[in-house]
């Protein structure tokens, strides 16, 4: 792989939905996700689902969103055990649709 020239791709804002499966409820997963998103300057939301997964939406600069996707895939909260992280509905957006990153009940 050659380098360079790809930065322009990462300039814009993107929105992406996610769902994380595994042991992700009751392990402060939402709180840690919110903390990580805020650290990266992202907005969106996170919530527990009735079928034991955590889902939500991330919006922000492409490169930062990619970082949170990696975090959701591999790290999560200290006690969590992630078996799968799926991402869908990725799209470029002109402006952020959320003011902050919040935990929904």
Identify any residues that bridge with 48 across adjacent strands, giving them in sequence order.
54
Strands 54-61 and 81-93, by their bridges, are unpaired
Q: Is 30 a catalytic residue?
A: yes
Q: What is the pLDDT of residues 63-103, one digit of tens each?
A: 999 999 999 999 999 999 999 999 999 999 999 999 999 99
Strands 54-61 and 13-23, by their bridges, are antiparallel
Q: Which of 9-13, 25-29, 57-61 has the lowest mean pLDDT?
A: 9-13
Q: Is 89 a catalytic residue?
A: no
Statement: 13-103 belongs to CATH 3.30.70.100: yes
CA distance 85 to 92: 20
Strands 81-93 and 43-48, by their bridges, are unpaired
Q: What's the pLDDT at 1?
A: 42
pTM above 0.85, yes or no: yes
The pLDDT-based confidence of 105 (bands split at 50, 70, 90) is confident
In the chain, where are the structural domains located?
13-103
Q: What's the pLDDT at 3?
A: 53
Phi, psi of 37 (to 5 degrees): -60, -45
Identify any residues that bridge with 49 across adjacent strands, giving them in sequence order.
none
């Amino acid at each position: 792989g050659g380098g360079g020239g790809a930065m322009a791709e990462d300039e814009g804002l993107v929105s992406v939905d996610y769902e994380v499966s595994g042991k992700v409820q009751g392990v402060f997963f939402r709180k840690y996700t919110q903390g990580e998103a805020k650290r990266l300057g992202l907005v969106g939301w996170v919530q527990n689902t009735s079928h034991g997964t955590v889902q939500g939406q991330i919006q922000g600069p492409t490169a930062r969103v990619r970082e949170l996707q990696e975090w959701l895939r591999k790290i999560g909260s200290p006690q969590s055990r992630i078996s799968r992280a799926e991402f869908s509905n990725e799209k470029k957006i002109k402006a952020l649709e959320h003011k902050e990153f919040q935990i929904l009940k």
